[in-house]
Chains A and B, each alone.
Chain A
Amino acid sequence: MMRYKRFFLQLIIILLFIGLVGILINNLIINLIRTDLGFNFYWLLKPASFALSEHALPFSPSDSYAWALLIGWINSLKVILFSLIFSTILGIIIGLSRTSKNILIKKISSFYITFIRQTPLLLQLMFWYFVGFLGLKNKFINFSNILKINTQGIEFFGLSLTPEFSALFIGLSVFTSAFIGEVIRGGIISVEKGQWESFRSLGLSERDGLIKVIIPQALPAIIPGLTSQYLNLAKNSTLAIAIGYSDIYAINDTIINQTGRAIECFIILLLTFLILNLSITNLMEKINKLINKKQIYIN
């Protein structure tokens, strides 16, 4: 009797779910017919007829929408990758400063973390872009031709970055670093106090002890937190549209505006993000496994 009841309950839930989805799709079809929007992906092969200032691969307005979307993806991945590296470095510095013995450093880093975390990322991005880069006007920051920062962006060893990219990259890195800093601090704190005393008694210096003893033990606690911060970083990169960087979301937005294909573009956006998420999660899991294996060797 109990098993039948469970079976029926599940059946009802499935039916309700299918019914709900059915109603929504039914409405969608009715609305698409009513508004003559239709549903297909043939438009992907039509020429995009808009120009892009930032493209890693050759792009001209007569290329197809599909190619424009690919360019958008490359732009997104570029900014995600750059910010990922930089925010990790910055986050480690912040996290270590939080556990530092120097009171001033500790206070500054904790102020940094609270301030960054208590203001919206979108506002920070606008600040970096409109005040940080465009506000420079003609005031150059120029370190003997190696590093140049002005309204036209950053130039570093001949590698020139546009202000849109730079503002997004710095904004995302700074924002994420505050979160990564907390993750790192949490990891270091999770290591037992006894471990610190034991390496000190072994005569290792503070720095050596931190690198050789504490961090390897903190890593298993850090990696999951780090993964979710990386995922957030990737998702947050879609705010690029607010400061004129042509990432995948911004290009989807332009295409929707030109073609009216909102549903199709939305599906493309969702699918690509699901794939990106899965790949980041898998990659981090592999790193996690690798670390765990090494730990066994060390022990």
Chain B
Amino acid sequence: MHKLLSGIAFLSLLISGCSSSYQKDTSRLDLIKKRGELICGVSGQIAGFSFLDNDGKYKGLDVDICKAFAAGIVGDAKKLQYRPLTATERFTAIKTGEIDVLSRNTTFTLSRDSTGGNGLSFAPIVFYDSQGIMVKKESNIKNIQDLKNKSICVGSGTTTEQNINDVFESKAIPYNPIKYQDASQVSASYLQGRCSAMTSDRSQLASARSGFPNPAGHIILEDVLSKEPLSPASDGTDNKLADALRWIIFTLITAEEKGITKENIDEKVKLAKNNPQLKSLRRFLGVDGGLGEKIGLRNDFTINVIKATGNYGEIYERNLGENSDVTLSRNSNKLYINGGLHFSPPFN
């Protein structure tokens, strides 16, 4: 009999334990700081954005954004774990709390950003992209009309899949989608002749093409299928974390605007400390104003971020610039003062 009683007591204890743990709803930001480590979801399959290098380290633009987040929140870019995710897993991984931040070529859309949709919250755009189609030069395909009844390789469960469907359906062009789970399979099947064309974000097409045996043999068609603003995402119910992420990205952009780089950051800090009249620089670098505290970070978080990754321009050059494996001209990804789209609200 006492077995039964103790069993019931044990059960009720468990249930009450579970329900009480729900009460204290803290921000993920505090959890990350307490843990001393940021968990960042990446793709791990796209050259230039996130891929595994020979030495077993992740590299790329998305990866550097993760580093900036870790430097800004925890204070050390090395306090960071990567979690390679498939396109399917990525949103569930945020919602279930398996990762803190998603930095994985994710397109900013209404349904993903909304509570009625995927319930995420997007940070500012880190890469302005558009969807394109790549074909073999010898195929003589000039525009999407020529792709009638042809096979097109596409990554499954992506906006890419929906966009190509929208465009071809609206123009009433029948086509044959061949869907794969990951990006490497898409380009592999295209290369091996399974499809006449492959579709993806233009940056990814260029990145894939750079690795092909004969890059000049492939052309990206002029047709633009959609806008693809890529940005990191976090859980939509957590405003505090979203704020922190937003301003860490703006830090990268503002730093480029102010000409602050990984090399000259120490000089700039000294400059700001010694010259009280440089108000805006002092606020940005956390000497004055206490801006960091307002978003739950240290006041000098900008310094940590810039020391870890450099400014946005440096990140771009390192991963997609002329001396990198994947060369992509900056175009829309220049600062607004240079004719691009990157713009940061003021640090006031």
Q: Within the complex, are A and B direct neighbours (CB within 8 Å)? A: yes
Q: Are B194 and A8 in contact (CB under 8 A)?
A: no
Residue A190 CB within 8 A of the other chain? no
Q: Are A260 and B165 in contact (CB under 8 A)?
A: no
Q: How far is the CA of A151 from the CA of B190 in the complex (A)?
A: 11
Q: What chain A residues lie within 8 Å of B175 (beta carbons)? A: 51
Residue B14 CB within 8 A of the other chain? yes
Q: How far is the CA of A246 from the CA of B141 in the complex (A)?
A: 27
Q: Output the nearest chain B residue to A8 by Cβ-Cβ distance.
A: B4
Residue B92 CB within 8 A of the other chain? yes
**Number of residues of chain A lying within 8 A (CB) of chain B:** 45
In the complex, which residues 1-60 of chain B have their Cβ closer than 8 Å to any Cβ of chain A?
A: 1, 3-4, 7-8, 11, 14-15, 18-19, 22
Instruction: Please pick, from B119, B181, B192, the residue contacting A134 in the complex, using a CB distance under 8 A.
Output: B192
Q: Are A244 and B178 in contact (CB under 8 A)?
A: yes
B93 to chain A, nearest CB (A): 11
Q: What chain A residues lie within 8 Å of B145 (beta carbons)? A: none
The count of A-to-B residue pairs whose CB atoms sit within 8 angstroms is: 118
Q: What chain A residues lie within 8 Å of B192 (beta carbons)? A: 130, 134-135, 137, 151
Q: Are A15 and B11 in contact (CB under 8 A)?
A: yes
B99 to chain A, nearest CB (A): 14
Q: Output the nearest chain B residue to A31 by Cβ-Cβ distance.
A: B96
User: Which one of B154-162, B271-279, B287-295, B340-348 is at the interface?
Assistant: B154-162
Q: How far is the CA of A242 from the CA of B179 in the complex (A)?
A: 10
Q: How far is the CA of A262 from the CA of B117 in the complex (A)?
A: 13
Q: Are B19 and A256 in contact (CB under 8 A)?
A: no
Q: Are A12 and B3 in contact (CB under 8 A)?
A: yes
Q: Are A134 and B193 in contact (CB under 8 A)?
A: yes
Q: Are B18 and A254 in contact (CB under 8 A)?
A: no
Instruction: Please pick, from A8, A16, A30, A250, the residue contacting B1 in the complex, using a CB distance under 8 A.
Output: A8
Q: Are B11 and A244 in contact (CB under 8 A)?
A: no
Residue A11 CB within 8 A of the other chain? yes
Q: Are B4 and A12 in contact (CB under 8 A)?
A: yes
Q: What chain A residues lie within 8 Å of B210 (beta carbons)? A: none
Q: What chain A residues lie within 8 Å of B194 (beta carbons)? A: 133-134, 151-152, 163
Q: How far is the CA of A23 from the CA of B12 in the complex (A)?
A: 10
Q: Are B15 and A22 in contact (CB under 8 A)?
A: yes
Q: Output the nearest chain B residue to A131 by Cβ-Cβ distance.
A: B192
Q: How far is the CA of A124 from the CA of B301 in the complex (A)?
A: 50
Q: Are B237 and A23 in contact (CB under 8 A)?
A: no
Would you give the 0/1 interface string for A203-242, flagging 1 where the beta carbon is closer than 8 Å to chain B?
Answer: 0000000000000000000000000000000000000011
**Most chain A CB within a 10 A radius of its CB, from B151, B166, B179:** B179
Residue B185 CB within 8 A of the other chain? yes
Q: Are A27 and B18 in contact (CB under 8 A)?
A: yes
Q: How far is the CA of A244 from the CA of B183 in the complex (A)?
A: 12
Q: Are B161 and A50 in contact (CB under 8 A)?
A: yes
Q: How far is the CA of A171 from the CA of B14 in the complex (A)?
A: 48
Residue B218 CB within 8 A of the other chain? no
Residue A164 CB within 8 A of the other chain? yes
B189 to chain A, nearest CB (A): 6
**Most chain B CB within a 10 A radius of its CB, from A27, A241, A258:** A258
Q: Are A52 and B177 in contact (CB under 8 A)?
A: yes
Instruction: Please pick, from A22, A53, A260, the residue contacting B178 in the complex, using a CB distance under 8 A.
Output: A53
Q: Are A19 and B11 in contact (CB under 8 A)?
A: yes
Q: What chain A residues lie within 8 Å of B19 (beta carbons)? A: 26, 30
Q: What chain A residues lie within 8 Å of B185 (beta carbons)? A: 244
Residue A37 CB within 8 A of the other chain? yes
Residue B118 CB within 8 A of the other chain? yes
Q: Are A130 and B165 in contact (CB under 8 A)?
A: no
Q: How far is the CA of A242 from the CA of B156 in the complex (A)?
A: 11
Q: How far is the CA of A46 from the CA of B15 in the complex (A)?
A: 37
Q: What chain A residues lie within 8 Å of B95 (beta carbons)? A: 35, 37, 260
Q: Are B4 and A26 in contact (CB under 8 A)?
A: no
Q: Are B181 and A242 in contact (CB under 8 A)?
A: yes
Q: What chain A residues lie within 8 Å of B11 (beta carbons)? A: 15-16, 19
Q: Are A257 and B88 in contact (CB under 8 A)?
A: yes
Residue A63 CB within 8 A of the other chain? no
Q: How far is the CA of A53 from the CA of B175 in the complex (A)?
A: 8
Q: Are A256 and B15 in contact (CB under 8 A)?
A: no
Q: How far is the CA of A19 from the CA of B239 in the complex (A)?
A: 35
Q: How far is the CA of A30 from the CA of B22 in the complex (A)?
A: 8
In the complex, which residues 199-227 of chain B have their Cβ closer than 8 Å to any Cβ of chain A?
A: none
Residue B176 CB within 8 A of the other chain? yes
Q: What chain B residues lie within 8 Å of A60 (beta carbons)? A: 169
Q: Are B22 and A164 in contact (CB under 8 A)?
A: no
Q: Are A61 and B169 in contact (CB under 8 A)?
A: yes
Q: How far is the CA of A36 from the CA of B111 in the complex (A)?
A: 13
Residue B87 CB within 8 A of the other chain? yes
> Beyond A36-B115, A130-B189, A254-B179: 14 further Cβ-contacts under 8 Å?
A15-B4, A19-B11, A23-B15, A30-B18, A35-B235, A36-B237, A49-B162, A49-B165, A133-B194, A134-B188, A151-B194, A244-B179, A244-B185, A253-B156
Top 7 closest pairs, chain A to chain B, by CB: A257-B157, A134-B192, A19-B11, A151-B193, A257-B88, A35-B95, A244-B180
B interface with A by C-beta (< 8 Å):
1, 3-4, 7-8, 11, 14-15, 18-19, 22, 87-88, 91-92, 95-96, 115, 117-119, 151, 156-157, 161-162, 165-166, 169, 175-181, 185, 188-189, 192-194, 235-237
**28 A-B interface contacts by CB (under 8 A):** A8-B3, A8-B4, A16-B7, A19-B15, A26-B15, A30-B19, A35-B237, A49-B166, A50-B177, A51-B177, A134-B189, A134-B194, A135-B192, A151-B194, A152-B194, A241-B181, A242-B181, A244-B179, A244-B180, A250-B156, A250-B179, A254-B161, A254-B179, A256-B88, A257-B91, A260-B117, A260-B118, A262-B92
A interface with B by C-beta (< 8 Å):
8, 11-12, 15-16, 19, 22-23, 26-27, 30-31, 34-37, 49-53, 60-61, 130, 133-135, 137-138, 151-152, 163-164, 241-242, 244, 246, 250, 253-254, 256-258, 260, 262
